[in-house]
Amino acid sequence: MISYSDLADFFYVWLRRTIKEIYPDLFSTIVTPKAQDGGRFVSFNETNEESKERFLAGLAEAFVNIKEKMNSEYLYHILCIQTI
């Protein structure tokens, strides 16, 4: 299985080569920035439990941000996709 993050890097490299001169700030890294990635994948330097904790912390932070910034008059939708 190929993770979305790895697939994004594949396309990012080619996009970066094509338009980095036009948008240098958006393409300042060699691969896509992973610090903002909210997906639950196990990286090479963490255990499955560490991956789970990182994912849940990021999810909690996202909900805090939604609550702080979202207008209470509007509904919002959260989409969760699980692949096996």
H or E element, residue 9: helix 4-19
Question: Cα–Cα distance between 34 and 57 in angstroms, integer?
Answer: 15
> What's residue 40's pLDDT?
57
Same domain, 54 and 72: yes
- pLDDT tens track for 19-72: 999 999 988 888 887 666 666 555 556 777 887 887 788 889 888 988 898 888
Same domain, 22 and 43: no
Q: Is the pTM of this model over 0.85?
A: no
Whether 84 is in a domain gets the answer no
pLDDT average, residue stretch 4-9: 78
Whether 83 is in a domain gets the answer no
pLDDT average, residue stretch 9-22: 91
> What's residue 19's pLDDT?
93
Same domain, 42 and 72: yes
> What's residue 55's pLDDT?
79
Q: Which domain holds residue 29?
A: 1-34
